[in-house]
């Protein structure tokens, strides 16, 4: 049994028997010729199964220690595919601090179709337990949460879920299997926006699902194929290319994040720093809301952009970007206020990042001063 | 074009960090072969993609900056870059070249350039006196590979560059093994840096590409002219993949170099291994030069077993590294120079250079080094059991 970094570097290698190609071919073919009736090669139509996508799906299943993987056209497509497992009248318990896109899909989409969601602070297991009703069919965790970095004890929630016969779904986008393997801790399904750390280069949109248990996997395979939000062969290949350096990137992201955390904590323009202790994501609150815009405008190295997990550092303003679809009062109550910034620390040199932040903070403070005068 | 950022930051933040039109953080792939012109007299910057393409231009500017040169050129393979650079020469010119140069370059020099009246002398580049003795009145190029392939001999780039200047010749340095993350030949006096970008620069065993970088405007003009005339340019998809690979160059090199050191040390102490050629050992003949001109010994080394039979048993039993031609990938690659990279060299020439039939070359990838050591130990145990060494 190899370690994770060895598994990552070797994704797809030795998969091609005919030519010995070290790098797996990209199969663009949509259909597969059969020798005769009932003589499928194992591939019929590319939505159902594609040899390139299959290598990726097996790799992520192995990395997350699940039984089967499913590659989807985006992280949201992965969540949508999982939602197909449920029906009207079912209930979900879900993290209160949550990615805005997931919130939108549930509130503006699935609510209409009779799926009810109860939003709780999942790190508080008593509240979580109290929210369970006879109709509760799943618990959906983000840990750490986006953007407030709250962590939930997956093992504890897994035992609560098992006790009640409820599925446990964990969004592992922020940590990836390098840091956290939720299935090993008792989760049934793990999902990823693979656009983020797994892809890692801000150039491929993708989602991944890994599940444990034969029945659950068969059901997901049915919906994955029926709804058809599958990942294209080229993007599957590109995603695998990104995953080969995941271990190295994650190590550097984390090393940088820890350095940047200390810098931000010491800086007088910053009031709060939220960092869960691992990974490359930090959130922080700037002293005054009026400083946010000049701060963002004066960053020259770090990009002000929506997304995370790439080699390049990004700062996001959740209030108007990732969490814009969450009603103001809900957003403020959760703590996603107008002074909060989310920082996806890249793999640049940490000192270059510090200099950029420091300069932008000074300019923002200067501009704010002029305004008050 | 140069920024105040450190090398690892420059890999990500350069002139092409985002598309000026859309803000896209990944350079667009411009498939267009030709470009609409607005004026009948004066054409725009881009007219035909062989001459200049925006995606290729991006990768060319990025590698030029990383090598601290002024102009970069992307080619369809490392050999296309090397061949195009040799086209700077004319009939009657002479090249002084490393004797244990890559087999493909050896083939080019000995079977192609000679037909066009370009002569050569192979020398031990590590021996400056021998190099100077080989100089002829028509010597135009000193061709250096350092560390050399596959014996990892290290040449003093600065010393050779000074010698070349004395004789009014150019210094070409193949920087494939170390990349600008570890060594920048242009800053040491070289005139042309060449790369098989298929290797560490791209790093994922999925692109064939070559690069040339220069720091002199006149030389840039000449190579640009040859690149366009000869036309061995890199395709746009591959330019983009190369750009993508470069983003993780620093972290990949670091991990692979650390792994190489651990594995080289382990093998050196193994009774089944006769010799390990690795410039990171203090007793390597050019250890001091390597320390002086590069940040690390690199991620490639070679080693010899006690016999060809033992080498065969070892290779048959190794499971983890790919047994293949090439190097500088995320996967560790084990190769057999006698039959692979140096097959183009005749057996006598190989023997003379010390490329024995029991020599293997290892390019360390991104696996956990301990997994590789475990794999090698298992294979070496079987080798020892069979060959009583």
Q: State the CATH number of the domain containing residue B319.
A: 3.90.1150.10
> Which pLDDT belongs to residue B208?
92
Are B241 and B256 contained in the same domain? no
Domain limit, last residue, from A227, A243, A259: A243
Q: Which of B23, B250, B367 sits opposite A6 (nearest CB)?
A: B367
Are A304 and A347 contained in the same domain? yes
Are B113 and B238 contained in the same domain? yes
Q: Known catalytic residues of A?
A: 47, 99, 171, 196
Say what percent of chain B tops pLDDT 90: 79
Asked whether residue B209 is domain-assigned, the answer is yes
Domain limit, last residue, from A243, A273, A302: A243
Beta-ladder partners of A138:
A92, A167
Strand order through the sheet with B192-196 = B71-75, B210-214, B192-196, B170-174, B139-145, B94-98, B119-123
Verify whether residue B140 is a known catalytic residue: no
Are A179 and A265 contained in the same domain? no
Residue B250 sits at the chain A interface (C-beta within 8 Å): yes
Neighbouring residues of A90: CB distance < 8 A, sequence distance ≥ 6: A114, A115, A116, A135, A136, A137, A138
Q: How many CB atoms lie within 10 A of CB A18?
A: 6
Domain limit, last residue, from B246, B280, B298: B246
Whole-number mean pLDDT of chain A? 93
Whole-angstrom distance, CA of residue A177 vs CA of residue A205: 19
CA distance A71 to chain B (A): 21
Asked whether residue B2 is domain-assigned, the answer is no
Q: Which of A10, A249, A251 sits opposite B331 (nearest CB)?
A: A10
pLDDT in tens, A220-234: 999 999 888 999 999
Q: Whose CA is closest to B341, among B369, B363, B367, B311?
A: B363
Are B275 and B180 contained in the same domain? no
Q: Is the pLDDT of residue A83 over 90?
A: yes
Structure tokens at A267: 């800086």
> Which pLDDT belongs to residue B125?
96
Count of domains observed in chain B: 2
Are B240 and B254 contained in the same domain? no
Contacts of A22 in chain B (CB under 8 A): 205, 322, 324, 329, 331, 333
Chain A from 179 to 218: CB within 8 A of any B CB: 201-203
Count of domains observed in chain A: 2
Phi, psi of B163 (to 5 degrees): -60, -45
Are B135 and B217 contained in the same domain? yes
Give B344's pLDDT tier (boundaries 50, 70, 90): confident
Q: Which of B27, B258, B368 best tests the A interface by mutation, with the highest count of A CBs <10 A?
A: B368
Domain limit, last residue, from B246, B263, B295: B246
Asked whether residue B1 is domain-assigned, the answer is no
Asked whether residue B61 is domain-assigned, the answer is yes
* C-beta atoms of A251 and B251 within 8 A: yes
Q: Is the pLDDT of residue A370 over 70?
A: no
Q: Which of A9, A15, A304, A305 best tests the B interface by mutation, with the highest count of B CBs <10 A?
A: A9
Are B226 and B311 contained in the same domain? no
* C-beta atoms of A248 and B251 within 8 A: yes
* C-beta atoms of A305 and B17 within 8 A: no
Contacts of A16 in chain B (CB under 8 A): none
Q: Is the pLDDT of residue B2 over 60?
A: no
> Which pLDDT belongs to residue A371?
62
Residue A249 sits at the chain B interface (C-beta within 8 Å): yes
Domain limit, last residue, from A243, A266, A298: A243
Are A178 and A213 contained in the same domain? yes
Are A193 and A146 contained in the same domain? yes
Full-model pTM? 0.85
pLDDT in tens, B156-186: 999 999 999 999 999 999 999 999 999 999 9
Are B87 and B180 contained in the same domain? yes
Are A127 and A224 contained in the same domain? yes
Could you report the predicted ipTM of this complex, rounded to two decimals?
Answer: 0.74
Strand order through the sheet with A116-120 = A68-72, A207-211, A189-193, A167-171, A136-142, A91-95, A116-120
Pairing of strands B94-98, B119-123: parallel
* C-beta atoms of A201 and B365 within 8 A: no
Q: Is the pLDDT of residue A327 over 60?
A: yes
Q: Whose CA is closest to B27, among B59, B67, B72, B75?
A: B59
Are B322 and B294 contained in the same domain? yes
Neighbouring residues of B17: CB distance < 8 A, sequence distance ≥ 6: A303, A312, B25
Does residue B113 contact residue B95 with C-beta atoms inside 8 Å? yes
Q: If 0-12 CB within 10 Å is exposed, 13-18 middle and 19+ buried, where does residue B355 land? A: buried
Are A218 and A260 contained in the same domain? no
Residue B381 sits at the chain A interface (C-beta within 8 Å): no
Element (H, E) at B262: helix B249-268
**A50: three-class secondary structure by DSSP:** coil
Give the nearest chain B residue to A253 (CA atoms): B251
> Which pLDDT belongs to residue B17?
81
* C-beta atoms of A311 and B365 within 8 A: no
Across A175-202, average pLDDT: 97
Give B32's pLDDT tier (boundaries 50, 70, 90): confident
Across A333-337, average pLDDT: 91
Are B240 and B253 contained in the same domain? no
HSE (side-chain half, CA atoms, 13 Å) at A291: 21
Q: How many CB atoms lie within 10 A of CB B34?
A: 10
* C-beta atoms of A245 and B367 within 8 A: no
Domain limit, last residue, from B246, B263, B291: B246
Across B236-248, average pLDDT: 95
> Which pLDDT belongs to residue B389?
55
Residue A121 sits at the chain B interface (C-beta within 8 Å): no
Does residue B211 contact residue B186 with C-beta atoms inside 8 Å? no
Are B270 and B187 contained in the same domain? no
> Which pLDDT belongs to residue B33?
84
Residue A167 is part of which domain span? 4-243
Q: Is the pLDDT of residue A168 over 50?
A: yes
> Which pLDDT belongs to residue B3?
63
Are A41 and A124 contained in the same domain? yes
Are A30 and A156 contained in the same domain? yes
Are A34 and A105 contained in the same domain? yes
pLDDT in tens, A272-308: 999 999 999 999 999 999 999 999 999 999 999 888 9
DSSP summary character for residue B109: I
Give B1's pLDDT tier (boundaries 50, 70, 90): very low
Verify whether residue B50 is a known catalytic residue: yes
Give the nearest chain B residue to A353 (CA atoms): B9
Q: Is the pLDDT of residue A74 over 70?
A: yes
Report the CATH number that the domain containing residue A366 is assigned in CATH. Answer: 3.90.1150.10
CA distance A111 to chain B (A): 34
Residue A20 sits at the chain B interface (C-beta within 8 Å): yes
Are A206 and A349 contained in the same domain? no
Across B278-304, average pLDDT: 98
Q: Which of B252, B370, B371 best tests the A interface by mutation, with the highest count of A CBs <10 A?
A: B371
Are A205 and A295 contained in the same domain? no
Are B205 and B307 contained in the same domain? no
Give B37's pLDDT tier (boundaries 50, 70, 90): confident
Beta-ladder partners of B48:
B34
Q: Which of A9, A241, A349 sits opposite B331 (nearest CB)?
A: A9
Q: Which of B23, B26, B251 sits opposite A249 (nearest CB)?
A: B251
Are A284 and A171 contained in the same domain? no
Contacts of B9 in chain A (CB under 8 A): 301, 348-349, 352
Across A48-66, average pLDDT: 96
Q: Is the pLDDT of residue B365 over 90?
A: yes
Contacts of B255 in chain A (CB under 8 A): 248
Residue B370 is part of which domain span? 249-387
Beta-ladder partners of A314:
A303, A344
Contacts of A241 in chain B (CB under 8 A): 204, 206, 244
Structure tokens at A150: 């709250």
Residue B61 sits at the chain A interface (C-beta within 8 Å): no
* C-beta atoms of A347 and B250 within 8 A: yes
Q: Which of B199, B215, B353, B361 is catalytic?
A: B199
Are B188 and B268 contained in the same domain? no
Q: Whose CA is closest to B257, among A13, A351, A248?
A: A248
Report the CATH number that the domain containing residue B110 is assigned in CATH. Answer: 3.40.640.10
Contacts of A5 in chain B (CB under 8 A): 366-368
pLDDT in tens, B185-198: 999 999 999 999 99
Report the CATH number that the domain containing residue A42 is assigned in CATH. Answer: 3.40.640.10
Contacts of B198 in chain A (CB under 8 A): none
* C-beta atoms of A312 and B12 within 8 A: yes
Give B349's pLDDT tier (boundaries 50, 70, 90): confident
């Amino acid at each position: 049994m190899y370690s994770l970094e060895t598994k990552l570097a070797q994704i797809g290698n030795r998969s091609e028997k005919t030519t010995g190609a070290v790098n797996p071919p990209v199969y663009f073919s949509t259909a597969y010729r059969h020798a005769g009736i009932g003589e499928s090669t194992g591939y019929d139509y590319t939505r159902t199964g594609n040899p390139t996508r299959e290598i990726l799906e097996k790799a992520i299943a192995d990395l997350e220690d699940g039984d089967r993987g499913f590659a989807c056209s985006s992280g949201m497509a992965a969540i949508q595919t999982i939602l197909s497992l449920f029906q009207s009248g079912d209930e979900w318990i879900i993290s209160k601090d949550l990615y805005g896109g997931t919130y939108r899909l549930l509130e503006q989409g699935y609510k209409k179709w009779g799926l009810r969601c109860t939003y709780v602070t999942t790190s508080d297991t008593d509240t979580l337990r109290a929210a369970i009703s006879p109709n509760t069919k799943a618990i959906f965790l983000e840990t750490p949460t986006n953007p407030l970095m709250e962590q939930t004890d997956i093992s504890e929630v897994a035992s609560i879920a098992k006790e009640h016969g409820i599925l446990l779904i964990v969004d592992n986008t922020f940590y990836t299997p390098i840091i956290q393997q939720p299935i090993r801790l008792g989760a049934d399904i793990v999902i990823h926006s693979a656009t983020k750390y797994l892809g890692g280069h801000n150039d491929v949109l993708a989602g991944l699902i890994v599940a444990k248990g034969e029945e659950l996997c068969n059901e997901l395979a049915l919906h994955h194929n029926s709804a058809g939000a599958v990942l294209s062969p080229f993007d599957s290949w590109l995603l695998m290319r990104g995953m080969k350096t995941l271990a190295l990137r994650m190590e550097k992201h984390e090393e940088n994040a820890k350095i940047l955390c200390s810098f931000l904590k010491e800086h007088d323009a910053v009031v709060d720093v939220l960092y869960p202790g691992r990974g490359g994501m930090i959130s922080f609150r700037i002293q005054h809301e009026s400083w946010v815009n000049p701060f963002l405008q004066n960053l020259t190295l770090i990009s002000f952009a929506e997304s995370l997990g790439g080699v390049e550092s990004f700062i996001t303003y959740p209030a108007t970007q990732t969490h814009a679809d969450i009603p103001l009062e809900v957003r403020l109550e959760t703590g996603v206020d107008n002074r909060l910034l989310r920082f996806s620390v890249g793999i640049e040199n940490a000192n270059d990042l510090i200099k950029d932040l420091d300069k932008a903070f000074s300019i923002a403070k200067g501009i704010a001063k002029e305004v008050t005068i | 074009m140069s920024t105040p950022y450190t090398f690892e930051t420059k890999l990500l933040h350069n002139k092409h960090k985002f598309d000026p039109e859309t803000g896209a953080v990944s350079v667009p792939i411009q498939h267009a072969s030709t470009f609409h012109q607005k004026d009948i007299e004066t054409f725009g910057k881009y007219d035909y993609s062989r001459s200049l393409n925006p995606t290729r231009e991006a990768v060319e500017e990025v590698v030029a900056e990383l090598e601290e040169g002024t102009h970069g050129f992307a080619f369809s393979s490392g050999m296309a870059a090397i061949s195009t650079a040799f086209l700077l020469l004319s009939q009657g010119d002479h090249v002084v070249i490393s004797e244990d140069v890559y087999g493909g370059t050896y083939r080019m020099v000995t079977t192609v350039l000679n037909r066009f009246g370009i002569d050569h002398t192979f020398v031990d580049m590590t021996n400056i006196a021998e190099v100077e003795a080989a100089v002829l009145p028509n010597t135009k190029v000193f061709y250096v590979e350092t560390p050399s392939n596959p014996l990892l001999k290290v040449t003093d780039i600065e010393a050779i560059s000074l010698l070349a200047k004395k004789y009014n010749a150019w210094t070409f340095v193949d920087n494939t093994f170390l990349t600008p993350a570890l060594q920048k030949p242009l800053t040491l006096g070289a005139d042309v840096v060449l790369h098989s970008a298929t290797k560490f620069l791209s790093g994922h065993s999925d692109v064939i590409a070559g690069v040339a970088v220069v720091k002199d405007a006149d030389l840039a003009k000449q190579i640009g002219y040859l690149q366009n005339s000869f036309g061995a340019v890199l395709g746009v998809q591959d330019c983009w993949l190369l750009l993508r690979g470069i983003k993780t160059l620093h972290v990949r090199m670091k991990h692979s170099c650390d792994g190489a050191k651990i594995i080289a040390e382990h093998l050196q102490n193994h009774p089944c291994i006769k010799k390990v050629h690795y410039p990171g050992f203090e007793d390597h003949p050019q250890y001091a030069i390597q320390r002086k001109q590069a940040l690390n010994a690199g991620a490639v080394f070679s080693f010899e077993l006690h016999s060809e039979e033992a080498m065969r048993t070892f290779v048959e039993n190794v499971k983890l590294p790919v047994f293949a031609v090439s190097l500088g990938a995320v996967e560790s690659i084990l190769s057999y120079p006698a039959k692979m990279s140096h097959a183009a060299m005749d057996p006598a020439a190989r023997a003379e250079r010390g490329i024995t039939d029991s020599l293997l070359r290892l390019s360390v990838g991104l696996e956990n080094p301990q997994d590789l050591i475990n794999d090698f130990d298992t294979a070496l145990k079987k080798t020892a059991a069979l060959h009583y060494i």
